[in-house]
Structure 1
Amino acid sequence: MKFVLSLFAAIFGWLSMMAQTNTYSISFENAVHHEASVKATFPNLKMDTISFRMSRTSPGRYALHEFAKNVYGFKAFDSKGRELAVHRPNPYEWQISGHDGLVQVKYTLFANRGDGTYAQIDETHAHLNIPATFMYAPSLSDRKIEVTFNVREDLNWKVATQLPLVSGTTYTAPNLYYFMDSPTEISDFTLKSFQVDGQTIQLALHHNGTENEADTYFEKVKKVVLAEKDVFDGLPSFDYGTYTFLACYIPNASGDGMEHRNSTILTSTRSLANGGMERNIGTVSHEFFHAWNVERIRPKSLEPFDFEAADMSGALWFAEGFTSYYTNLILCRAGLISPKEYVEGITGTFNYVWNSPARQFFNPVEMSYQAPFVDAATSVDPVNRENTFISYYSYGSVLGLALDLSLRENGLTLDDFMKSVWNKYGKPEIPYTIANLHDALNEFAGKTFGDDFFNNFIHNSAMPDYVSLFNTVGVQVQQPKTEPYFGAYTSMSPDNSGYKILRNPIIGSPAYLAGLDNGDVILNINGISFSEDQDFIDYLRQFNIGDSLKVTYARYGVQKMTSLTLSANPDYTINLMEDGEQIPSNSMLQQRKSWLKHD
């Protein structure tokens, strides 16, 4: 009798659970025209009116993307197949009333951008970012979800996703958030995997290359995974024991990388045979580091993630920026680039941050606040971003570099600080505030050190003494001051009439002080015309720093003239000391070896 009662209870529990499960199915009969057919069923509804939405945001992004614009042919039915009335209170929402406790919706989705934010459907693949694909009911966000991907067997499609498998091509998610955070690649991909500490790391690679190329690339992926594991002394505990790289390197993709809890999207038009073997691996490094830093070491300002409004965080200099610092450092430690390549590769990011006038307007926290306007956000009105914004990726990266080298002067390392933050906030998954990070650095390196770093470089816009810091690891930073500097980005105009200024001139630069502006066409300087296809920088080399020049230009079709004084290029060069005229000391070389973990 006890067995029968237990069996009855189990069956009743299973039926009750199924009654609380929302189900989706998606099919791709018209993939050639980038369409998918989506159906979803929501049972056991207690409310008279239920609201369905398309998300306006996507996990890992910070701007609005308005996925509802690609949905059409929406209809709703009750359990008997009776069509229900639909009310649209706003562009993102469909309200259904008059149902009998169950609502089935169906619609057509158009999707043709293959990256980490959107979805792409064609006869090469169904590349699905879930918020861009599936409608949801906010009031049912705690319910379990099952989704069936009706794959195109004629195209040999398979499914790769972090969602756990139910059977066949049906997968499940414990709730709405996990579902929305689970991108899915459906294609004829190659699957590679290896085991690390009892967990599976796998690469689902959709590309047009060879199996040998896939094997070679996967070896690089392995090296990145192990080098990043060393930073934190272990992998995160991935849900369901698996982490999946969803790599899509095909001509119709759009370059991107987007982290998720147990997977990441990697997209590029570069094939492995055409530069991707070396150039795509940096995205692997960046996105996998996010498995710790941002997915589990998570800013409180991003919790809970809002699918209806832009998510703003002041911590992106740490979440994205420090991750960017480790991106190429990991490639060096993994032996995928040389110390020389790594150090010289810092130069572009360093000059961008160091020379930007934007630091007079915003500190790193405030730069992070700009994410909803810049993170793949679109607008049609011109902005002055050249002068007012520094990417929190870059800003945080050079500050992470400075913090690492500063800690090393005190016998500490950024690796160990990241481990301490991981153990305090990441492993137990306690969202942090910026004040928490400040306190954590004070505890790790001392109050004087921590206060100095946060008060000067995070809450204000001062810059560390990079010359001294680089010197400790045998790296030379120089500002040659031999190249004339104009201060505006130009390109030969379409009619070859001159050089058109393509961006806002930099505040304080010669072009800015001379009153030149975006859109002006430089016709000649000192009466000297331009040769066809001549590079503008090469043209400037006939003049000297400090020369006062007469610039003839056209604005709105009207010819004008101004005076401009050339200054020295403010950019720095960054090199290993031994590649210049200095010889690094043994202590410098030891510090460098410890930093780069490279013989």
Structure 2
Amino acid sequence: MPDSPRLARYVALAASLAAVLPISGAAQAKRAHHALGIAYHIAMPDPASHYFDIELRIVGIKSDSLDLQLPVWSPGRYARMDFARNLQDMVVTTGEGKPLAKEEVNGSLWRLRTRESSSAIIKYRVFANTLSGTFSVLDSAHANWNGASLFVYVTGHKQDLVHLTVEPPAGWKVMNSQAENFAQREFDFPNYDELIDTPTEVAPSISLDSFNVDGRLYRVMLHHNGVLDSALRMRFVRGVERIVKQENAVLGPPPLAMYTFVGNAGYKGSDGMEHLYSTQIIDPHVLTDTAAVDDYLGYASHEYFHVWNVKRIRPYLLGPFDYTSERYEPSLWVAEGWTEYYGIISLQRAGITRPAQLYVTLGEDITYDLTRPARRWMSAREASMHAPFFDGGAQPMAVDAPSNFISYYTKGEGLALLLDIEIRSRTNGGRSLDDALRSLKKRSWDAPKASYYLQGRGYTELDVERAVSDAAGVDMHDWFTRFVGGTEELPFAESLAKIGLSLTASGDSASRKYTVAPAPDATKEQLARRALWLVHDVTTAEQ
């Protein structure tokens, strides 16, 4: 990678920051953080080989050694992945090209001996042939990367400014949440975390549409396998716009100027993954009909709600991140489960689905929650803690998953439904789960800045309980003990009745199925609650 004027500016800025950073509080006895100049270069000289060529330049080194770490997991997928198994041919030199000694401390950590040099150049290759929200792919059709699987970081310097140069194959376009156009090749990030939180698509042909909501620019990028029908493309774009408008109403528009939906359709892989300023939507089906478009909109509704819930209003362990070990986080039933609930009901509230479709989905998910064998012993909290075992984790041995795990997505969705109805009932429709989220935002995102990463702090389990209690107007500790920390059967029938819905069971114990439907004997009060819940006029809510 040739010397860059931007890199030179980084060096100067790093030096100035090191000079002016104050020493205060618990750090009074320590020296101020010395920022490094850090710049990455990623190239794709032979896409068919599936290998990325990566170069990292570091300047301003003042220590005798420097550690390089490749993450072993990636935020949004909680299992340990050990991305380093695809990294090879690491060569380290000084900035002048002289060899620098290195040793491998473990499979994902390397130590450089830098006593005689103030700069280092690290070159390596990474094999990438898996399209997903967690891994990366490079082939003759395109490149798509998740930064955690590619970019090593300097230990102790995740908070330093980062520069990235992308060198695509001739004629290929580049798009991510920071790109102002397809031709942009240089990108700046405030820290390593945001570098790897920026998935990037590089391909010969990419469509890009945009719209504005709440003073923000939203872009919908699609890399489609084959000819993309313009009418179906615009159905997707307009659907995304309706979702954004609806979900922004819950917590307000997010603190950003631009947000990008990064989509791949018709290629091997199926996934959705949230990011600070974008989301990945990957589906193996091409957009050939409205059903395929609506499937994509389901991904978009879930992932966009994450722009607040998990990316900004975040559990304690999910920002800033420790990338050296998988995280065991007890509140994923909120981070993912509540998002699942809002993703489903926002489709209804945005007019993309109808109440009948919503009831079918709820029936299917309630069936799971009330029949999954693991529900008898595994609480929502425990399910969250077991995410590293089941969310994409390696399965080297036979596992009786139905008896050993219940999804924190689906159980969390069920708990969100129950809490939403409970809060609405206790406040006579004056408040809802929206208000619990707003209280949680105030307690965490709006709190004093706790680290270099974003604003505010991560929330605790107690924060969640108190936020729900605030919204309900009563102490919900007993409810949380029974249904979040405990394994009592979730009272769906009792709760749904409060909004004029019935829950009917059919089949024997081995094939039990639950169906949600409007209750024929619903009272006017229950109908009114249901109308508010659906956000439709009561006279048209069931049409």
- Residue 477 of structure 1 and its aligned partner are, at CA, apart by 1.0
| Equivalent position SS for 1:153 | coil
The one of 443, 459, 481 equivalent to 1:455 is: 481
Q: Distance in 2 between matches of 1:281 and 1:225?
A: 11
- Residue 402 of structure 1 and its aligned partner are, at CA, apart by 0.8
CA contact 1:340–1:576 (8 Å) conserved in 2? no
Match of 1:328 in 2: 344
- Residue 12 of structure 1 and its aligned partner are, at CA, apart by 9.8
The one of 178, 184, 199 equivalent to 2:194 is: 178
Q: Confirm or deny that 1:227 pairs with 2:246.
A: yes
Q: Distance in 2 between matches of 1:440 and 1:37?
A: 47
Deviations 1:30-59, CA, capped at 9 Å, x for gaps:
101211111111111111222212110112
Q: Output aligned runs, 1:179-258, within 5 Å.
A: 179-187=195-203, 188-208=205-225, 209-232=228-251, 234-238=252-256, 241-252=257-268, 254-258=269-273
For 2:529, give the aligned amino acid.
Answer: Q
Q: Distance in 2 between matches of 1:21 and 1:236?
A: 30
The one of 465, 472, 480 equivalent to 1:438 is: 465
Q: Output aligned runs, 1:157-168, within 5 Å.
A: 157-162=173-178, 168=184
* Number of residue pairs aligned between Structure 1 and Structure 2: 496
Q: Output aligned runs, 1:28-427, within 5 Å.
A: 28-98=44-114, 99-154=116-171, 156-162=172-178, 168-187=184-203, 188-208=205-225, 209-232=228-251, 234-238=252-256, 241-252=257-268, 254-274=269-289, 275-410=291-426, 411=428, 412-427=431-446
CA contact 2:433–2:468 (8 Å) conserved in 1? no
- Residue 147 of structure 1 and its aligned partner are, at CA, apart by 0.7
Q: Distance in 1 between matches of 2:149 and 2:404?
A: 31
For 1:457, give the aligned amino acid.
Answer: F
- Residue 576 of structure 1 and its aligned partner are, at CA, apart by 2.6
Match of 2:514 in 1: 572
CA contact 1:182–1:260 (8 Å) conserved in 2? yes
| Equivalent position SS for 1:220 | helix
The one of 524, 530, 540 equivalent to 1:586 is: 524
- Residue 135 of structure 1 and its aligned partner are, at CA, apart by 1.7
- Residue 14 of structure 1 and its aligned partner are, at CA, apart by 5.2
Deviations 1:301-346, CA, capped at 9 Å, x for gaps:
3343111100111001111111111111000001111001101211
Q: Distance in 2 between matches of 1:94 and 1:279?
A: 43
Q: Distance in 2 between matches of 1:152 and 1:205?
A: 19
Deviations 1:47-75, CA, capped at 9 Å, x for gaps:
12222121101122211111111111211
User: What is the percent sequence identity of the aligned residues?
Assistant: 28
- Residue 472 of structure 1 and its aligned partner are, at CA, apart by 2.5
- Residue 16 of structure 1 and its aligned partner are, at CA, apart by 4.1
TM-score by length of 1: 0.79
| Equivalent position SS for 2:345 | helix
Q: Distance in 2 between matches of 1:67 and 1:340?
A: 43
Q: Distance in 1 between matches of 2:463 and 2:423?
A: 19
CA RMSD across the alignment: 2.3
Q: More displaced, 60-69 or 353-362?
A: 353-362
Match of 1:477 in 2: 503
Q: 1:163 to 1:230 in 2, by over 3 A?
A: same
| Equivalent position SS for 1:459 | coil
Q: More displaced, 12-21 or 464-473?
A: 12-21
Match of 1:561 in 2: none
Point out where structure 1 has 5 or more consecutive residues left out of the alignment: 1-9, 488-568
For 1:409, give the aligned amino acid.
Answer: S
Q: 1:472 to 1:356 in 2, by over 3 A?
A: same
Extract structure 1 runs of 4+ deviating beyond 6 A.
Answer: 163-167
CA contact 2:10–2:161 (8 Å) conserved in 1? no
Q: Distance in 1 between matches of 2:147 and 2:230?
A: 29
For 2:95, give the aligned amino acid.
Answer: S
For 1:460, give the aligned amino acid.
Answer: G
| Equivalent position SS for 2:402 | helix
- Residue 468 of structure 1 and its aligned partner are, at CA, apart by 2.4
Q: Distance in 2 between matches of 1:576 and 1:12?
A: 65
